[in-house]
Structure 1
């Protein structure tokens, strides 16, 4: 058994924390969607299940990527960056729809986590240098 003496850099630690926080937040949304699907008077079942499934899968993916990055798995960085960059169009359409109070922070979160994931300390910790 080997013990990695290099501490996880603060940038990677915060990226993992934020990914896990996003996973929890999306899990809460997924739970609300499940409750909504079960209690709705009328619904288009296929659409409801697809949206709910997408939320559950997104939460699971964010949590798994956070875990992979916490274990310094370099393969987790690219998918995590893609998911963070997906927050940009989501935030943009929220702003266009009159929900700038939510869209702007989502865009900022996506850019912040992406910045943490491509920062030099994180890059070194994941073995890209």
Structure 2
């Protein structure tokens, strides 16, 4: 640029800090519940791995696919929880989709006689979705 840009004077420069507002309670609880879901699904994944290794007769391909799906779910839930804790707005939609996926899972559990587990899963999915679309969460993630 040959001297066309003026040189900044040297000297003491003060650091600029941004005081961001604290994470709202709704977002904090959504992150906690997503992480709790990841831990619970992680326990299921551990059980699936143990079952894959100790089963006497199995369809190995199907068993490994179900196990891989569970492990991927753990990673997705944990990562989305972390991204939301860092207020990444792009993580909200995938988190909502995963929560809404609990509705058909819970419904089929109820139909299969596991209502004691299916109904709480449906309530959990709707509850976390509600937390993720609440006004306080919208403001924290930059949605106006």
2:64 to 43, 49, 53: 49
* Residue aligning to 2:3: none
* Residue aligning to 2:22: 7
1:33 to 29, 48, 57: 48
Q: Which has the larger radius of gyration?
A: 2
Task: Report the alpha carbon displacement of residue 118 of structure 1 after superposing the two structures with TM.
Answer: 0.1
In structure 1, what is the Cα distance between the partners aligned to 2:136 and 2:127? 15
In structure 2, what is the Cα distance between the partners aligned to 1:43 and 1:98? 25
Q: Which has the higher helix share?
A: 1
Aligned-CA RMSD value: 0.9
Report the CA distance shift for 1:44/1:2 in structure 2 as closer, same or farther (over 3 A). farther
Task: Report the alpha carbon displacement of residue 4 of structure 1 after superposing the two structures with TM.
Answer: 3.8
Stretches (4+) displaced over 6 A: none
Stretches of structure 1 that go unaligned for 5 or more consecutive residues are none
Report the CA distance shift for 1:67/1:4 in structure 2 as closer, same or farther (over 3 A). farther
In structure 2, what is the Cα distance between the partners aligned to 1:84 and 1:6? 26
Stretches of structure 2 that go unaligned for 5 or more consecutive residues are 1-15
In structure 2, what is the Cα distance between the partners aligned to 1:52 and 1:128? 36
In structure 1, what is the Cα distance between the partners aligned to 2:98 and 2:115? 20
- Encode CA deviations 1:59-96: one digit per residue, 9 max, x unaligned: 10000000000000000000000000000000000000
1:22 to 21, 37, 57: 37
TM-score, normalization by structure 2: 0.88
Task: Report the alpha carbon displacement of residue 119 of structure 1 after superposing the two structures with TM.
Answer: 0.1
2:124 to 85, 95, 109: 109
